[in-house]
């Protein structure tokens, strides 16, 4: 094969390697946990924590209700027990009893309100858990798709790198160096086609002498303007 054709073939492989590497990097970036999954998991933990706190404060309110009830029972015991006869004292106990009844009622109302809150939070937790399960299921599916894609790309890259080695092996070292420099400098396009007498890299019309040399294909001929290696298919 003429040198320009060899270099062009090498560039085709290198471009395919570039594409495969970029795709692989994008796939790898999508591996691991998504923001959606992290958020769904955090929501469940948050609801669990709120519920735990609610259960804790419910124990306090329960305790306060019990306390108010036994206090009232004690006062009523004295009031109706017959041991206290002094009217002033009885009147005082009566006042205490009605005050304690009011207190007990308020505590019981508080407990009821609290139990409603607990129920609401339990429902919110169940909802968050269901959402997490759904997100996790979807995520696992996507993960295994991506892992499959990653493996395919890695195999493809290994093949491409093998062909690159074989292709580069047939090209002179100094020419390869020039190719590498140009590929670096010209966004991966070191070798360009000549069509209708024009360099397809920079669209300049090439001098006849350059065109003739390019057509022979046995020398490395560079564009007079963009310096890319010229190739006639
Ligand atoms: Zn050019």
CA 3 to chain centre: 47
CA of 10 to the centre of ligand 1 (A): 19
CA of 209 to the centre of ligand 1 (A): 15
CA of 77 to the centre of ligand 1 (A): 108
Contact 125, 90 (CB under 8 A): no
Beta-strand pair 198-199/229-231: unpaired
Contact 230, 222 (CB under 8 A): yes
Q: What token pair was written down for 222? A: 């560079």
The pLDDT value given to residue 164: 97
The pLDDT value given to residue 1: 65
Helix (H) / strand (E) containing 146: helix 87-169
The pLDDT value given to residue 233: 82
Instruction: Tell me how far CA of residue 201 lies from CA of 60, 126, 178, 215, in angstroms.
Output: 80, 62, 16, 17
CA of 196 to the centre of ligand 1 (A): 13
Beta-strand pair 229-231/191-195: parallel
When computed from its CA atoms, the radius of gyration of the chain, rounded to whole angstroms, is 42
The pLDDT value given to residue 217: 77
Q: Is the pLDDT of residue 66 over 70?
A: yes
Mean pLDDT value across residues 191-195 = 95
Q: What whole-number distance in Å separates Cα of residue 226 and Cα of residue 98?
A: 101
CA of 206 to the centre of ligand 1 (A): 8
Residues 6+ apart with CB under 8 A from 153: 20, 23, 24, 27
CA of 222 to the centre of ligand 1 (A): 8
pTM of the model: 0.67
Instruction: Tell me how far CA of residue 177 lies from CA of 15, 47, 118, 186, in angstroms.
Output: 17, 62, 73, 14
């Amino acid at each position: 094969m003429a040198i320009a054709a060899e270099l062009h073939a090498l560039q085709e492989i290198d471009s395919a390697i570039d594409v495969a590497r970029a795709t692989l990097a994008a796939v790898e970036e999508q591996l691991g946990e998504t923001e959606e999954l992290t958020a769904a998991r955090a929501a469940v933990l948050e609801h669990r924590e709120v519920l735990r706190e609610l259960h804790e404060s419910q124990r306090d309110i329960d305790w306060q209700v019990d306390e108010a009830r036994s206090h009232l029972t004690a006062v009523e015991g004295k009031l109706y027990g017959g041991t206290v006869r002094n009217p002033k004292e009885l009147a005082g106990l009566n006042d205490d009893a009605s005050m304690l009844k009011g207190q007990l009622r308020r505590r019981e109302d508080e407990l009821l309100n609290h139990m409603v809150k607990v129920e609401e939070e339990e429902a919110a937790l169940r909802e968050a858990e269901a959402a997490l399960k759904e997100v996790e299921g979807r995520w696992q599916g996507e993960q295994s798709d991506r892992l499959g894609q990653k493996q395919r790309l890695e195999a493809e890259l290994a093949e491409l790198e093998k062909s690159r080695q074989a292709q580069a092996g047939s090209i002179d070292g100094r020419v390869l160096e020039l190719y590498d420099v140009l590929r670096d400098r010209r966004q991966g396009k070191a070798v360009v086609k000549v069509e209708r007498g024009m360099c397809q890299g920079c669209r300049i019309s090439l001098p006849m002498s350059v065109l003739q040399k390019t057509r022979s294909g046995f020398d490395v001929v560079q564009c007079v303007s963009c310096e890319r290696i010229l190739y006639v298919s």
